[in-house]
């Protein structure tokens, strides 16, 4: 299950960034495509215990942006008071097998980077 909520950012929202073992929640400035969201959720729950990135919320953020350079991801996702942001919650119940349409070469590259970088 993936939930997306568009909100106006304030510092109190940072409390919602968490991983409870069943669901991971992250706040992003730019919403990834549906294909990247689904892949990030799937890869996260398959590999978070083995990830070189030990903080699960940062690992999920890196998957959402298809970039494993944490400093770069944090800088890109820098949130300011009043920004429109998306709260993404992904729970370990993803069983959807719908056909996913890849809409652009950029999206294809993001999916490929995630797949390569998450392989162990």
For residue 23, pLDDT beyond 80: yes
How far is Cα 44 from Cα 11, in angstroms, rounded to an integer?
Answer: 25
Rounded mean pLDDT, 20-35:
94
- Is the pLDDT at 95 greater than 90? The verdict is no
Count of the separate structural domains present in the chain: 1
* Cβ atoms within 10 Å of 66's Cβ, excluding its own: 22
Return the residue matching tokens 């690992």. 59
Q: Which residues contact 120 (CB under 8 A, 6 or more apart)?
A: 47, 50
The answer to whether residue 96 scores a pLDDT higher than 80 is: no
pLDDT tens for each residue of 35-77 = 899 989 988 998 999 888 899 999 999 999 988 899 999 999 9
At 20, is the secondary structure helix, strand, or coil? coil
Give the pLDDT confidence score for residue 112 in this predicted structure.
77
CATH assignment of the domain containing 8: 3.30.2380
HSE-CB at 79 with a 13 A cutoff on CA atoms is 21
On the question of pLDDT at 2 being above 80, the answer is yes
pLDDT mean across residues, the chain? 87
Element (H, E) at 26: strand 23-28
End-to-end CA separation in angstroms for the chain: 25
Range of the domain at 101: 2-118
Mean pLDDT, to the nearest integer, of 69-86? 94
- Copy the structure tokens of residue 7: 């909100």
Instruction: Give 6 or 34, the one with higher predicted confidence.
Output: 6
């Amino acid at each position: 299950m993936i939930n997306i909520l568009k909100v106006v950012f304030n510092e109190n929202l940072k409390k919602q960034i968490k991983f409870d073992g069943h669901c991971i929640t992250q706040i992003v400035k730019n919403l990834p495509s549906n294909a990247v969201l689904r892949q990030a959720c799937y890869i996260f729950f398959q590999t978070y215990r083995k990830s070189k990135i030990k903080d699960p919320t940062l690992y999920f953020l890196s998957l959402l942006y298809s970039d494993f350079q944490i400093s770069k991801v944090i800088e890109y996702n820098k949130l300011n008071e009043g920004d429109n942001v998306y709260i993404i919650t992904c729970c370990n119940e993803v069983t959807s097998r719908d056909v996913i349409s890849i809409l652009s070469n950029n999206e294809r590259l993001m999916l490929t980077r995630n797949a390569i970088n998450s392989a162990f």
